[in-house]
Amino acid sequence: MTSSESSAVLDTARRAREAAALLAPLPRKAKDAALLAIADALVARTDEIVAANAQDVARARENGTPESTVDRLALTPERIAAIASDVRDVVGLPDPVGEVVRGSTLPNGLELRQVRVPLGVVGIIYEARPNVTVDAAALCLKSGNAALLRGSSSAYASNTALIAVLRDAVASTGIPADAIQLVPGESRESVNELMRARGLVDVLIPRGGASLIRTVVEGSTVPVIETGVGNCHVYVDADADLQMAVDILINSKAQRVSVCNSAETLLVHADIADAFVPVALAALKDSGVTVHGDAAVQKFSADVVPATAEDWDTEYLSYDIAAAVVGSLDEAVAHIRRHSSGHTEAIVTRSQAEARRFVQLVDSTAVMVNASTRFTDGSQFGFGAEIGISTQKLHARGPMGLPELTSTKYVVTGDGHLRDAAPTVLPPSC
C-alpha cells in the first residue's frame, strides 16, 4: 500500500468521526427525511447504478466467476426498487436513540437514566452483494452512526456509484455527506488500515465468508462483532414425531442452502435411528442432498458418503449434510459444543424434559425447539431489519437490529448532590 492510501483510510475515519458527532443528537425526523431522500434517489438514479454494476458484472464474468456469485453481485432496476423499498421500511422502524433503557430515582433523590446513544463510527466489511451497501448505510443512519463501508473489490464500481447516490441524498437534507463513506482503496491493505483505526472507529462488523470473518476477528484492534458463520445442527430426539422431524430437517437443510441459518449436520438418537434414518435419507435424496454419514448412518444406504473428521466442522452452504447417530441427548450436546459455530441448533422432540435440557445445555445464539433452523433471522424475529447475525457473546448475540447498533450512557440529574464520605474498611475499587 502507498502511504497516501493509508492516510486516505485514516482521513476517511476522521471525517466519519466528525460526522458522527453531528449525527448523534439528530432527532428521528431528520434521519427519516434523509432515508426517504435515499430511497427516492436510488430509484431516480437507477440507470447510473445499473451502468456501474454492469462493469463489475462484466469483470466478474471475464474472471470466470461462478454464475451464482455473479447473481449475488448483479443489480437490476427491480432489485434497486427492492433495495429502495427496504430503506423505506427502515423509516418505519422506531429510533433506538434516546430510549431510556433503565431509569430510577435513587434514595438520595438523584435521577438516574440509562439512555441509548449511537455507537459512533461503524465499519462494515463485506463481500460481493452491493445491496448490503445500502442496507448497512440505512441502518447506521437511522441509529445515528456514521458508516464506513468496505465492500468487495469485485463490487467496487457498483459501491462507488451507490455511495455517491447515498451521499448526495443525505447532504440534500442537511446531514453531512461524510456520515456515509466508502473506504478508499481496493487493496487488502486498506482493510488492514481500517482494522487498526482504534479510537477512530468504534466497531467493525465483518459480513461474509468464514475466512473474511476470521481475518477481521484476529487482526483487528478495533472491537469486532463476529457474524454469521453457521454450522447449524438438527438433533432428532428418541421421542420425536417422525414426520415433523423429516419436515424440519428438509426445511432446515434444503429450503435455501447458501445461507448461514441452514442446517449442516443431522444428529439422530440411536433409539429412533432405525425408524428415522431411512426416511430422512430418502427425503434428503429427493431434495438433492448428499449425506456424509458416520458408520451408523452408512449402514442404512450405499448412497451415504463416509464422513471425514472435517465434515463435522464444515459449513457446506451446499446440498450436503453431515449425519451421525448419537447415544443420548448429552452426546448430541457434546458434539454440538465441540463442532458448532454457535449459530443455531434445533431439537425435534415430544419430550418437555428433553427440550428443556437441550435448551439449557446448548450454548448457541439460537436454540429451536420443534422449529426449523431457518428462522434465525432479523426479519423472521420481527426486528424489521438486521445488519448481521452475531455469533459472539459480547454486546449482541443473534440477529442485530437497530438497538444493537447503539450503546448507552448514564444521565444523572441532581440539584447539588454530593457524595458522602462513607467510612469503609476496604480500599477503593478503582
In the complex with its own copies, which residue's Cβ is closer, 288 or 416? 416
Write down the residue that cell numbers 502507498 correspond to. Answer: 2
* Choices 156-164, 168-176, 183-191, 241-249 (CB under 8 A): range interacting with its own copies: 241-249
Concatenate the DSSP letters of all residues of 234-301 into one string. Answer: EEE-TT--HHHHHHHHHHHHHS-TTSTTSEEEEEEEHHHHHHHHHHHHHHHHHTTPEEEE-HHHHTT-
Whichever of 309 and 430 has its CB closer to its own copies, that residue is 430
- State in Å, rounded, how far the first CA of the chain is from the last one: 43
Q: Which of 187, 211, 258, 318 binds its own copies (CB under 8 A)?
A: 258
User: 208: which DSSP letter?
Assistant: S
Count the neighbouring beta carbons within 10 Å of the beta carbon of residue 341. Answer: 20
| Out of 8, 10, 30, 259, the residue judged to bind its own copies by CB under 8 A | 259
CA–CA distance, 249 with 51 (Å, rounded to integer): 42
Burial (Cβ within 10 Å: 0-12, 13-18, ≥19) of residue 45: middle
Nearer to its own copies, 295 or 394 (CB): 394
CA dist., res. 341 & res. 315, Å (int): 9
Is 21 a binding residue for its own copies by CB under 8 A? The answer is yes
Is residue 72 near its own copies by the rule CB under 8 A? yes
Site string for its own copies, 140-179 (x = CB under 8 A): ----------------------------------------
Q: Minimal distance in Å, beta carbon 298 to its own copies? A: 28
Question: Using CA atoms, how far apart are residues 134 and 165, in angstroms rounded to an integer?
Answer: 10
Pick the piece of the chain touching its own copies (CB under 8 A) from 33-41, 171-179, 221-229, 287-295: 221-229
Q: State in angstroms the smallest separation of the CB of 430 from its own copies.
A: 4
61, 188, 198, 285: which one binds its own copies (CB under 8 A): 198
CA distances from 312 to 299, 322, 341, 376 (A): 19, 6, 11, 21
Nearer to its own copies, 224 or 304 (CB): 224
Show contacts with its own copies in window 391-420 (CB under 8 A): 392-395, 397-398, 407-419
Q: Comparing C-alpha atoms, which of 119, 102, 97 is closest to residue 25?
A: 97
Stretch that binds its own copies, among 1-9, 254-262, 264-272, 273-281 (CB under 8 A): 254-262
Cα–Cα distance measured from residue 103 to residue 358, given in angstroms and rounded to the nearest whole number: 35
Cα dihedral sign, 332-333-338-340: positive
What is the footprint of its own copies within residues 345-384 (CB under 8 A)? Answer: 355, 359-361, 363-372, 374-377, 380-382
Of 64, 66, 288, 428, which one interacts with its own copies (CB under 8 A)?
Answer: 428
Task: Give the distance, in angstroms, between the CA of residue 234 and the centroid of all CA atoms in the same chain.
Answer: 21
Among 6, 114, 298, 301, binds its own copies (CB under 8 A): 114
Quick one: which segment of 167-175, 176-184, 253-261, 277-285 binds its own copies (CB under 8 A)?
A: 253-261
Convert residues 22-41 into a mask of x (bound to its own copies by CB under 8 A) and - (unbound): --xx----------------
**Is the Cβ of residue 128 or residue 170 nearer to its own copies in the bound state?**
128
- Of 56-64, 81-89, 150-158, 183-191, the segment contacting its own copies by CB under 8 A is 81-89
Least distance in Å: CB of 302 to its own copies?
29
What is the C-alpha to C-alpha distance for residues 262 and 316, in angstroms, rounded to an integer?
9
Half-sphere exposure of 10 (CA within 13 A, CB side): 10
Cβ nearer to its own copies, comparing 186 with 377: 377
User: What residues pair up with 155 in beta bridges, in sequence order?
Assistant: none
Number of residues that bind its own copies (CB under 8 A): 99
38: how many CB neighbours lie within 10 A of its CB?
A: 29
Least gap, CB of 369 to its own copies (angstroms): 4
Closest separation in Å from C-beta 415 to its own copies: 5
Q: Is 71 exposed, middle or buried (0-12, 13-18, 19+ CB in 10 A)?
A: exposed
Per CB under 8 A, the list member of 61, 188, 256, 285 interacting with its own copies is 256
Q: In this chain, which of 35, 203, 277, 400 binds its own copies, going by CB under 8 A?
A: 203
Considering beta carbons, is residue 297 or 329 the nearer one to its own copies? 329
Residue labelled with grid coordinates 445500502? 134
